[in-house]
Amino acid sequence: MSQRISKDTILLTNAPSILASAAVVGKKEGEGPLARHFDIIYDDTTLGEETWEKSESKMQKSAVEKALEKANLSSSEIQLLFAGDLLNQCISSSYGLRDFDIPFYGLYGACSTMTESLGLASLFADNGLLDYGVAVTSSHFCSAERQFRLPLEYGGQRPPTSQWTVTGSGAAIVGQSGKPPYVRGVTIGKIIDMGIKDINNMGAAMAPAAHNTIKTFLQDTNTRPEDYDLILTGDLGKVGSDLLIDLLKHDQIDLSGVHQDCGKLIYDLEAQDVHAGGSGCGCCASVLCSYILKRIQEGVLHNVLVIATGALMSTTSFQQGESIPGIAHLVYLSDSKGS
């Protein structure tokens, strides 16, 4: 059973566990600071496929297979897949996962999809709706560039506020096990649109959504940033992270001591020429499903809030002069089940 404590926040009283997780990434991510935490690094980011979209599908499949292997589960034991990605009609997920023969809920939350899928899988597990569920998402630099910006061959220039779409996928298997990391809470984000229109500054478009969700969770649970070892956003990057800290300061909430962003952690921002940092569904997915969950499992991190953020625009809405709405879903992870 779960306990809804506000319109936005639900506490998971049975505290389901993340039984296993896997993160698979591309070459550039494998050259970054988190390299040793990833399960697979594909130096050939085509993964042997003829198109980038097929490469991304294969990567998502590979993440699920690796997570199943680590959990010592077969795909026939999984009752539900929660999956999504950035591509039009979410084809990375549908083509990547079609061979599994597992009931499938497709999601679209742009780069917030990792915490949308993990939140849903955890809510299902907490209420006995599944024994084992998988949350998975992915992004690929080359498929995202082609779809959202320009084909790679154009060699387009990128402004300093732009972010680098992570080539990566992360999968987490949720169920009841009595072992950490536990999922203890979920805050479901609202669509927040502050009128940002700069397609090369996604961090700025998404920061207000992260601000809203984090503030809501802290209010709903009557807790403060100091109560957490880490408050981790998905892919705000450098620009969005600074904005988030500023926005929360206006509410007398100081996040600066405990905030990190997956888009800043996954690359060496100076050396790897990624401008404002990493982005994409695969950014939060690959960082969370490797480094972060491992550190909670080891007891190094005790209480962690993960807030993946998504920009709910398309190239069409942008061309039609629309602003960029953001959304941010929060998952509260802990190394203890709580009282």
- Candidates 123, 125, 230, 276; binder of a second copy (CB under 8 A) is 123
Residue 156 found at the interface with a second copy (CB under 8 A): no
User: Contact region for a second copy (CB under 8 A) — 126-134, 219-227, 265-273, 287-295?
Assistant: 126-134
Contact 203, 238 (CB under 8 A): yes
Looking at the Cβ atoms of 89 and 256, the one nearer to a second copy is 89
Give me the least distance between CB of 242 and a second copy, in Å please.
Answer: 25
Two tokens at 306?
């993960």
User: Contact region for a second copy (CB under 8 A) — 102-110, 197-205, 234-242, 266-274?
Assistant: 102-110
Taking the C-alpha atoms of residue 166 and residue 288, their distance in angstroms, rounded to an integer, is 13
Residue 179 found at the interface with a second copy (CB under 8 A): no
Looking at the Cβ atoms of 158 and 190, the one nearer to a second copy is 190
Q: How many residues sit in the footprint of a second copy (CB under 8 A)?
A: 59
Of the CA atoms within 13 Å of residue 79, those in its CB half-sphere come to: 11
Give me the least distance between CB of 76 and a second copy, in Å please.
Answer: 8
Taking the C-alpha atoms of residue 103 and residue 75, their distance in angstroms, rounded to an integer, is 11
- Enumerate residues 1-30 that contact a second copy by CB under 8 A: 1-2, 4, 7-8, 10
Give me the least distance between CB of 149 and a second copy, in Å please.
Answer: 14
Task: Identify the helix (H) or strand (E) that includes residue 17.
Answer: strand 17-26
What are the Cα distances from residue 84, in Å, to 34, 107, 205? 24, 5, 21
Contact 33, 49 (CB under 8 A): no
- The CA R_g of the chain, rounded to the nearest whole Å, is 18
Taking the C-alpha atoms of residue 231 and residue 266, their distance in angstroms, rounded to an integer, is 16
Residue 125 found at the interface with a second copy (CB under 8 A): no
Residue 276 found at the interface with a second copy (CB under 8 A): no
Taking the C-alpha atoms of residue 279 and residue 205, their distance in angstroms, rounded to an integer, is 13
x-or-dash string of contact with a second copy, 297-326, rule CB under 8 A: ---------------xxxxxx--x-x--x-
Looking at the Cβ atoms of 85 and 335, the one nearer to a second copy is 85
Taking the C-alpha atoms of residue 279 and residue 202, their distance in angstroms, rounded to an integer, is 9
Taking the C-alpha atoms of residue 321 and residue 240, their distance in angstroms, rounded to an integer, is 22
Q: Give the number of other Cβ atoms within 10 Å of residue 246's Cβ.
A: 12
User: Contact region for a second copy (CB under 8 A) — 15-23, 97-105, 176-184, 198-206?
Assistant: 97-105
Q: Give the number of other Cβ atoms within 10 Å of residue 103's Cβ.
A: 11
Taking the C-alpha atoms of residue 296 and residue 304, their distance in angstroms, rounded to an integer, is 8
- Residues in contact with 166: Cβ distance below 8 Å, sequence separation at least 6, in sequence order: 25, 26, 29, 139, 141, 235, 263, 266, 278, 279, 280, 282, 283, 286
Q: Give the number of other Cβ atoms within 10 Å of residue 250's Cβ.
A: 9
Give me the least distance between CB of 101 and a second copy, in Å please.
Answer: 6
Looking at the Cβ atoms of 193 and 254, the one nearer to a second copy is 193
x-or-dash string of contact with a second copy, 44-83, rule CB under 8 A: ------xx-xx------------------------xx---
Residue 91 found at the interface with a second copy (CB under 8 A): yes
Contact 196, 273 (CB under 8 A): no
- Enumerate residues 188-217 that contact a second copy by CB under 8 A: 188-193
Residue whose entry in the numeric block shows the structure tokens 């990566």 = 168
Looking at the Cβ atoms of 139 and 241, the one nearer to a second copy is 139
Looking at the Cβ atoms of 204 and 230, the one nearer to a second copy is 204
- Candidates 20, 23, 64, 86; binder of a second copy (CB under 8 A) is 86
The footprint of a second copy (CB under 8 A) covers 1-2, 4, 7-8, 10, 50-51, 53-54, 79-80, 84, 86-91, 94-95, 97-98, 100-110, 116, 120, 123-124, 127-130, 147, 188-193, 312-317, 320, 322, 325, 327
